Amino acid sequence: MRNATLAMASREIPLASHVIISNVPGPQGLLCLAGARVQLITGLGPLLHMMGLFLAVFSANGLITINFISCKETMPDPAFHRQCLRESYEELALAAKKKAGRKKRKK
Protein backbone atom coordinates (compact mmCIF):
# COMPACT_ATOMS: atom_id res chain seq x y z
CA MET A 1 0.00 0.00 0.00
CA ARG A 2 2.96 2.30 0.60
CA ASN A 3 3.99 1.95 -3.06
CA ALA A 4 0.41 2.51 -4.19
CA THR A 5 0.16 5.66 -2.10
CA LEU A 6 3.40 7.01 -3.61
CA ALA A 7 2.24 6.19 -7.13
CA MET A 8 -1.09 7.88 -6.53
CA ALA A 9 0.55 10.98 -5.07
CA SER A 10 3.12 11.48 -7.82
CA ARG A 11 1.29 10.04 -10.85
CA GLU A 12 4.80 9.47 -12.26
CA ILE A 13 5.86 6.37 -10.33
CA PRO A 14 4.41 3.23 -11.93
CA LEU A 15 2.40 1.00 -9.62
CA ALA A 16 4.25 -2.25 -8.85
CA SER A 17 1.10 -4.35 -9.22
CA HIS A 18 -2.32 -3.88 -10.71
CA VAL A 19 -4.16 -6.26 -8.38
CA ILE A 20 -4.35 -5.88 -4.60
CA ILE A 21 -5.81 -8.58 -2.34
CA SER A 22 -6.57 -7.58 1.22
CA ASN A 23 -7.20 -10.40 3.70
CA VAL A 24 -8.54 -9.14 7.01
CA PRO A 25 -9.48 -11.64 9.72
CA GLY A 26 -12.25 -10.17 11.81
CA PRO A 27 -13.77 -11.13 15.14
CA GLN A 28 -14.93 -14.75 15.25
CA GLY A 29 -17.48 -14.35 18.01
CA LEU A 30 -21.01 -13.01 18.08
CA LEU A 31 -21.18 -9.24 17.57
CA CYS A 32 -23.99 -6.90 18.47
CA LEU A 33 -24.61 -3.32 17.46
CA ALA A 34 -27.19 -1.24 19.35
CA GLY A 35 -28.63 -4.47 20.74
CA ALA A 36 -29.04 -6.18 17.34
CA ARG A 37 -26.99 -9.18 16.20
CA VAL A 38 -24.59 -8.35 13.36
CA GLN A 39 -25.37 -10.80 10.56
CA LEU A 40 -22.62 -10.03 8.05
CA ILE A 41 -19.52 -7.86 7.80
CA THR A 42 -17.98 -7.10 4.42
CA GLY A 43 -14.86 -5.29 3.29
CA LEU A 44 -14.04 -2.88 0.52
CA GLY A 45 -10.82 -1.24 -0.58
CA PRO A 46 -9.73 1.69 -2.71
CA LEU A 47 -9.06 1.49 -6.42
CA LEU A 48 -6.04 3.73 -6.90
CA HIS A 49 -4.45 5.21 -10.00
CA MET A 50 -3.22 2.46 -12.40
CA MET A 51 -4.90 -0.33 -10.39
CA GLY A 52 -7.23 -2.71 -12.18
CA LEU A 53 -8.66 -4.79 -9.34
CA PHE A 54 -8.97 -4.68 -5.55
CA LEU A 55 -10.21 -7.83 -3.80
CA ALA A 56 -11.30 -7.40 -0.19
CA VAL A 57 -11.45 -10.71 1.70
CA PHE A 58 -12.92 -10.42 5.18
CA SER A 59 -13.85 -13.09 7.70
CA ALA A 60 -16.04 -12.71 10.78
CA ASN A 61 -18.10 -15.03 12.95
CA GLY A 62 -17.24 -18.11 10.89
CA LEU A 63 -18.16 -16.55 7.54
CA ILE A 64 -15.98 -15.19 4.76
CA THR A 65 -16.86 -12.52 2.20
CA ILE A 66 -15.03 -11.60 -0.98
CA ASN A 67 -15.85 -8.24 -2.53
CA PHE A 68 -14.10 -6.55 -5.38
CA ILE A 69 -13.94 -3.24 -7.15
CA SER A 70 -12.50 -3.00 -10.64
CA CYS A 71 -11.56 -0.55 -13.35
CA LYS A 72 -13.88 -0.79 -16.37
CA GLU A 73 -10.95 -0.49 -18.80
CA THR A 74 -9.13 -3.38 -17.16
CA MET A 75 -12.18 -5.52 -16.43
CA PRO A 76 -15.08 -4.62 -18.74
CA ASP A 77 -17.24 -7.53 -17.46
CA PRO A 78 -17.06 -7.73 -13.65
CA ALA A 79 -20.09 -10.04 -13.59
CA PHE A 80 -17.95 -12.70 -15.31
CA HIS A 81 -15.27 -12.30 -12.63
CA ARG A 82 -17.95 -12.72 -9.96
CA GLN A 83 -19.21 -15.86 -11.71
CA CYS A 84 -15.68 -17.30 -11.82
CA LEU A 85 -15.19 -16.60 -8.10
CA ARG A 86 -18.49 -18.32 -7.27
CA GLU A 87 -17.72 -21.36 -9.44
CA SER A 88 -14.24 -21.67 -7.92
CA TYR A 89 -15.74 -21.53 -4.42
CA GLU A 90 -18.30 -24.23 -5.26
CA GLU A 91 -15.56 -26.45 -6.73
CA LEU A 92 -13.41 -26.01 -3.63
CA ALA A 93 -16.35 -26.68 -1.28
CA LEU A 94 -17.20 -29.89 -3.14
CA ALA A 95 -13.58 -31.08 -3.00
CA ALA A 96 -13.47 -30.36 0.76
CA LYS A 97 -16.68 -32.36 1.33
CA LYS A 98 -15.31 -35.30 -0.66
CA LYS A 99 -12.07 -35.26 1.32
CA ALA A 100 -13.96 -35.08 4.65
CA GLY A 101 -16.07 -38.05 3.54
CA ARG A 102 -12.96 -40.13 2.75
CA LYS A 103 -11.50 -39.36 6.18
CA LYS A 104 -14.71 -40.53 7.92
CA ARG A 105 -14.71 -43.83 6.00
CA LYS A 106 -11.08 -44.55 6.96
CA LYS A 107 -11.88 -44.35 10.70
pTM score, whole prediction: 0.69
Helix ranges restricted to H, the chain: 2-10, 78-106
Most confident region among 25-29, 30-34, 60-64 by mean pLDDT: 30-34
Phi, psi of 7 (to 5 degrees): -65, -40
- Beta carbons of 15 and 1 less than 8 angstroms apart: no
Give pLDDT, residue 86: 94
- Residue type for position 78: P
Please compute the mean of the pLDDT values over residues 79-94 and round it to a whole number.
94
Question: What's the pLDDT tens digit per position in 43-60?
Answer: 888 887 778 899 999 888
More confident residue, 65 or 50: 65
